[in-house]
Structure 1
Amino acid sequence: MIGRDEILGILEGYDPGRIAIGVIGSHSALDIADGAKEEGLPVLVVAQRGRHRTYAEYFRQRKKKDGLTKGFIDEVIVLERFGGIIEIQEELRRRNVIFVPNRSFVVYTGIDRVENEFLVPLFGSRNLLRSEERSEEKSYYWLLERAGLPYPEAVKPEEIDDVGLVIVKLPHAKKRLERGFFTAASYREFREKAERLKKLGVITEEDLARARVERYIIGPVFNFDFFYSPIDGEIELLGIDWRFETSLDGHVRLPAGQQLTLPEHQFEPEYTVCGHASSTLRESLLEKVFDMAERYVEATKKYYPPGIIGPFTLQTAVDKDLNFYIYDVAPRTGGGTNIHMAMGHPYGNALWRKPMSTGRRIGLEVKRAIELDELEKVVT
């Protein structure tokens, strides 16, 4: 793991008046870039050829012939592959870049290289990024347990008949950033579905052996987009989102009888995230949500010092008795924050009395850290 002192040494060579925000061109890059621009910080996006036009053309900042400015991304570096970002880190440092990690950055670069080779100041908690890997011994489940937070309990496949409905969490065999999830209400169903999905090339036996099998919480899902400010020592709830997933959302729009007639290659829904929607929460439940966030933040400080910095998302399901269960944790900006760019999150807007997206909140924290000469508090 790159030591924080080493990163702070690099930061000392930066020009505080020329700090730029950098991000991988995927996942939540538009929100991060838009928010940085709102706070007057230059934006540099590192894109991959074949997926670069969104950033290099359509949202690139340019002057129109009548003098109007359109777009918000200042510069784009196009690589042949995302993983090549390791090879341009000297260029990023030269440009005074503070890099904002998202899930795509970790997946495409590789967690080992992020931890040990990427010598660029990260806004956020470098050492917490690995906790998102479910196969790690000290995954977010390990952290949730020590924080005393509720999460769906793990189930051995042969115990499914005694527990009831479970969800099996493992990566998609071909689309590694996506999911090969499936549900089962019995051990027989588990084996039958697993064999069917292997045959269809959705999952592999190797991934299945390492899969997380846990009790399925029947109820709505809420992704709580939080922000922890190390400058203020305060937790903020910015907004709430939920996901659109293919082909799951297509399945639930069909009558049950029609679902049963689907051919084998369409029978099992996939859980590939393709979009998000905004939500709010019944106010009487907010105390429970803030309590979960407080316990998570304190646990990160204890077990992953200096603890969480900036954005994090607690992904939850709510049962019939209004109990929350955390089924996933993003120790960085969440994947659903793009729905709030420019117009902001409902709770963040109310709190700050102006449009406050996750991206803008990151930009604001960096700007405040520069002005207060406290950049060392927000990077690792």
Structure 2
Amino acid sequence: MAVYASHSAIQILLGAREEGLLTTIFGPPESLRLYSRFPGLVNKALEYSGVDCLSILKDEGHVLIPSGSIVEYVGYDAIVKSGIPYFGLKELIKWESEWDLKLKLLNEAGIPIPKTFKDPSQVDTIVIVKLPGAKGGKDFFISKTPREIEVNLEKLKENGKIKSFKDVCIQEYVVGTTMYAHYFYSPIFDRLEITGFDIRYETNVDGMKRLPPTLTKNIQPSFIVCGNIPVYPREKLLETFIEYGERFVKTTKRLIPPGIIGPFCLECVINEDLEPIVFEFSGRIVAGTNIYMNGSPYLKLYWGTEMSVGRRIAKEIRIAKDTERLTEILT
């Protein structure tokens, strides 16, 4: 298993070790140091130098395990060019990286999503403006006036963060509690498994909660993820979450065959009617699963024992290899 040195690498490496699979971690030298601190966690480390590095990993028989860092720092083109086997739905990287495709997929699945605006001039409510890619909330901002949005977008354009206004998603800000639902779809068992839920701990918006409103009116909130917190939704919500996941799986099979493989996440706000509104998705493991590094209680419902999503990935690969069905989980 080839794992990028960031994001959710520790639990993936640990899960591979628990399932008896070998691993190579790759990334910039300054990132690799962390993983060498934990005895026996890594079998091999490799400095990342672009497509050539992926080609080396391919020649050595590795399977690439996607994460947010793979989406953001390696990218679809390098993965395709290298030809390295990819655990998951490789084409979903393109859909996850472009807002129009991402929202199309959720709409086609019949999953409730917030209202979106094509142009700042259309905005008539509080919105959150989001950049493309897996940036962990960096440079997102909230606004309610078209002029303010245009000014902020011009600054992002001047700083090279976006090429045009079309790069961003202007989305209605739904008031409610955030909840990120984690899933795993297994082609080997033809089964959707719910693996857990988290809340993202974001700076500085979460820190602003500790200040009186009179002191925060001139502070621009930011949404940079710095950690994750476990959350257990009410059982009456579980059926809704499972139905959303099933719709997502079914729609990816129709629009992007062979469909989703392995972990994914639906990122939600729960409104006052207890309806989850999905504002985006991640088509691979999310860092929020790190809260279950010692094992998810939800996976115990399927396997009789708690396990991390990292181990669940390794288990799917090991079972597929043992039963000669690797082609069903690799793209």
Q: How does 1:200-215 map to 2 (within 5 A)?
A: 206-215=163-172
Structure with larger Rg = 1
* Secondary structure of residue in 2 paired with 1:370: helix
Give, in whole Å, the separation in 1 of the partners of 2:12 and 2:26: 13
Give, in whole Å, the separation in 1 of the partners of 2:58 and 2:30: 25
Give the unaligned 5+ runs of structure 2: none
181, 199, 219: which one aligns with 1:242: 199
Q: Which amino acid aligns with 1:321?
A: D
Taking structure 1 as the reference length, what is the TM-score of the superposition?
0.81
The Cα shift of 1:315 comes to 0.7
Is contact 1:170–1:207 with CA below 8 Å preserved after alignment? no
Is contact 1:171–1:181 with CA below 8 Å preserved after alignment? no
The Cα shift of 1:134 comes to 3.0
Give, in whole Å, the separation in 2 of the partners of 1:193 and 1:203: 13
Q: Which amino acid aligns with 1:348?
A: L
Match of 2:311 in 1: 360
Match of 1:7 in 2: none
Give, in whole Å, the separation in 2 of the partners of 1:279 and 1:326: 17
Tell whether 2:176 aligns with 1:219. Answer: yes
Q: Which amino acid aligns with 2:265?
A: T
Tell whether 2:130 aligns with 1:169. Answer: yes
Tell whether 2:18 aligns with 1:59. Answer: no
Q: Structure 1 residues 220 and 207, CA, compared in 2 at 3 Å: closer, same or farther?
A: farther
Give, in whole Å, the separation in 2 of the partners of 1:361 and 1:131: 24
Q: Structure 1 residues 73 and 276, CA, compared in 2 at 3 Å: closer, same or farther?
A: same
* Secondary structure of residue in 2 paired with 1:218: coil
Taking structure 2 as the reference length, what is the TM-score of the superposition?
0.92
Fraction of identical pairs, as percent: 33
Match of 2:235 in 1: 283
Match of 2:145 in 1: 186
The Cα shift of 1:75 comes to 1.4
Match of 1:147 in 2: 109
Q: Structure 1 residues 47 and 210, CA, compared in 2 at 3 Å: closer, same or farther?
A: closer
Tell whether 2:297 aligns with 1:346. Answer: yes
Tell whether 2:71 aligns with 1:106. Answer: yes
Give, in whole Å, the separation in 2 of the partners of 1:347 and 1:235: 12
Is contact 1:171–1:203 with CA below 8 Å preserved after alignment? no
Instruction: Give me the CA root mean square deviation.
Output: 2.2
Q: Which amino acid aligns with 1:73?
A: V
* Secondary structure of residue in 2 paired with 1:379: coil
Give the unaligned 5+ runs of structure 1: 1-20, 62-71
Q: How does 1:108-127 map to 2 (within 5 A)?
A: 108-114=73-79, 116-127=80-91
The Cα shift of 1:333 comes to 0.8
Any idea what the Cα deviations from partners look like across 1:268-299, whole Å, max 9, x if unmatched?
12211111111111001111111100110000
Match of 1:251 in 2: 208
Any idea what the Cα deviations from partners look like across 1:230-274, whole Å, max 9, x if unmatched?
0111000011111111222222221111113x5xxxx21221111
Q: Structure 1 residues 170 and 203, CA, compared in 2 at 3 Å: closer, same or farther?
A: farther
Give, in whole Å, the separation in 2 of the partners of 1:169 and 1:220: 18
Q: How does 1:265-280 map to 2 (within 5 A)?
A: 267-280=219-232
Give, in whole Å, the separation in 1 of the partners of 2:129 and 2:98: 12
Match of 1:129 in 2: 93
The Cα shift of 1:54 comes to 0.7
* Secondary structure of residue in 1 paired with 2:291: helix
Is contact 1:60–1:75 with CA below 8 Å preserved after alignment? no
Any idea what the Cα deviations from partners look like across 1:20-42, whole Å, max 9, x if unmatched?
x1111111111111111111111
The Cα shift of 1:188 comes to 4.2
The Cα shift of 1:367 comes to 1.0
